[in-house]
Homo-oligomer: A and B are copies of this chain.
């Protein structure tokens, strides 16, 4: 890199300063800004880590694994359902807001909780499987809740790269159902 790229221009400086000040008056915990040749990180508490949700023990009896051998009858899976991606905040109408994955594919998340159906009825082929080309407004699955069926739209045009939920499986709100590469 050349020397002039290493200096902070007065304009850049004013911008950084303003970002820090704006951020200070916000309620966020951290900010990371990466530009060509520049990276800015600001925050409170510990520096951001890949999984910011993982606050540790709080002294409140949050025992991760209660004693076994005491569970009645059918055991419940512990916080199952494929640990939905909490970074997904898409509301019902916006599964397409899901961020890109490493391979450039975009997650389609459950717009509601319920039972996921990958096909319109048991005798039909699936709406979409790996390799299927879909349009943004195309139905890629159904979610049933109390006998009411909701369409799941692709939200983005592309090729299905992964189907994460099996036919008939329960999905939580916001859970990743499939991935589409645009």
On A, residues with C-beta under 8 Å from B are 1, 3, 5-9, 11-13, 15-24, 26-60
Contact = CB atoms under 8 A, between A and B. Distances in A.
B43 A29 contact: yes
A132 to B, nearest CB: 39
Nearest to A1: B36
Given A6-B35, A21-B22, A56-B55, A29 B45 contact: yes
B24 A24 contact: no
In the complex, which of the residues A11, A42, A55 has the most CB atoms of chain B within 10 Å of its own CB atom? Answer: A42
Contact of A43 (B30, B34, B55, B60): B30
10 A-B pairs closest in CB distance: A47-B48, A6-B37, A59-B59, A34-B39, A32-B41, A24-B26, A36-B37, A1-B36, A13-B15, A29-B44
